[in-house]
Amino acid sequence: MFKALLIEKNEDLYQTRLTELDDSQLPEGDVTVRVEFSTLNYKDGLAISGRSPVVRRFPMVPGIDLAGVVEASNHTRYKTGDRVLLNGWGVGETHWGGLAQKAQLKGDWLIPLPDQLSARQAMAIGTAGYTAMLCLMALERHGLSPERGEVLVTGANGGVGSFAIALLARLGYSVTASTGRPAEADYLKQLGASTIIDRSELSNPGRPLAAERWAAAIDSVGSHTLANVCASTRADGTVAACGLAQGMDFPATVAPFILRGVSLLGINSVTRPHEERVAAWQRLCSELDLAQLDDITREIALSEAIDAANDLLDGKVRGRVVVDVNR
């Protein structure tokens, strides 16, 4: 038996509860992992609360991240005792995820846990840090370098935003952070932001073109914010879009793209190839100041995850939430 969060749906009743499950209930997979830590991401909050229909199959164990030790394997890449981590691949939506003491999954979804990281550190980084690195890598492929100018990070107090600021600042970029919580300015400056702006500057309907401000941006918000970010990006600048905290809509015009040559890059962290995942995590190990993880992260027990998920959606959580599934 193992403990897990379980989401069930019966007609109009949507419920998430902490329960015990039997190993025989685990879904199909060629690797069984004894989970040590998982996380709470925005998508996990939606799944646990039922506020958005992200779960595709029921019953479902949520949790799009996990790190732990291989307990059994029929996959050529892994053997018993190997330390592994996982991000994405529909885990927590279509396949049981990491908010449990045990998971059974496809070995192709896993990557080796880097030697430089503990399981807890890997989950402190999680999908948020991994996505921030994918954004940075995409911007670099399109020519971004520190001398090009300021980089804007929206949703700055969230997980992706926090890691984006930390990574950019450590690489020598000048970072502007957009946040709805100006009281957290000291936290954002500690991460490396040089300028703080209120999200209200970007979150309302704006002009097709605005004054040129940023050389590039990492946006996890979407909707009017993303439209205004594009409208304010300098000529030949680049915007990496990876989230929809404000909304899935994109009420913009083509003006920034055809009059200024702005590029909009979509970042899909869910189904990246194995080699790209490994490369992103290796860069995180070398370019992220691991000492900052304590400032970005707080740890909770599995039993606290349901309440924390609602706090996350209500904007009450700063940075990352790591879940110790064994307490």
Q: What is the pTM of this model?
A: 0.93
Q: How far apart are CA 82 and CA 105, in angstroms?
A: 15
pLDDT at position 212: 98
Pairing of β 31-40 and β 320-324? antiparallel
Angle between helices 42-49 and 305-313 in degrees, nearest 10 = 110
Sign of the alpha-carbon torsion through 223, 224, 225, 231: positive
- Tell me whether residue 111 is exposed, middle or buried, using C-beta atoms within 10 angstroms of its C-beta: 0 to 12, 13 to 18, 19 or more: middle
Strands 175-179 and 151-153: parallel
- Return all residues near 141 (Cβ < 8 A) that are at least 6 apart: none
For 131-151, write each residue's pLDDT tens digit.
999 999 999 999 999 999 999
Residues 6+ apart with CB under 8 A from 41: 64, 65, 126, 127, 128, 159
The four Cα atoms 288, 292, 294, 296 give a dihedral, to 10 degrees, of -80
Helices 159-170 and 119-141: crossing angle in degrees, nearest 10, is 70
The greatest distance separating any two alpha carbons of the chain, rounded to the nearest whole angstrom, comes to 61
121-150 burial code (b ≥16 CB/10 A, e <16) = bbbbbbbbbbbbbbbbebbeeeebeeebbb
Q: Tell me how far CA of residue 193 lies from CA of 87, 150, 173, in angstroms.
A: 27, 10, 9
* Alpha helix segments (H runs only) across the chain: 42-49, 119-141, 159-170, 185-191, 200-203, 223-231, 255-259, 274-287, 293-296, 305-313
Nearest to 129 by CA among 13, 237, 289, 263: 289
pLDDT of 12 reads 81
Task: Confirm if 163 and 132 have CB atoms less than 8 A apart.
Answer: yes
Q: Which amino acid is at 24?
A: S
β-pairing verdict for 13-21 and 2-10: antiparallel
CATH number for region 2-113+290-324: 3.90.180.10
For the chain, give every domain's residue range: 2-113+290-324, 127-266
User: 325 φ, ψ to 5°?
Assistant: -75, -5
pLDDT tens for each residue of the chain, 327 residues long? 999 999 999 888 999 999 999 999 999 999 999 999 999 998 999 999 998 889 999 999 999 999 999 999 999 999 999 999 999 999 999 999 999 999 999 999 999 999 999 999 999 999 999 999 999 999 999 999 999 999 999 999 988 999 999 999 999 999 999 999 888 899 999 999 999 999 999 999 999 999 999 999 999 999 999 999 999 999 999 999 999 989 999 999 999 999 999 999 999 999 999 999 999 999 999 999 998 898 889 999 999 999 999 999 888 888 789 999 999
Can you identify the CATH homologous superfamily of domain 127-266? NAD(P)-binding Rossmann-like Domain (3.40.50.720)
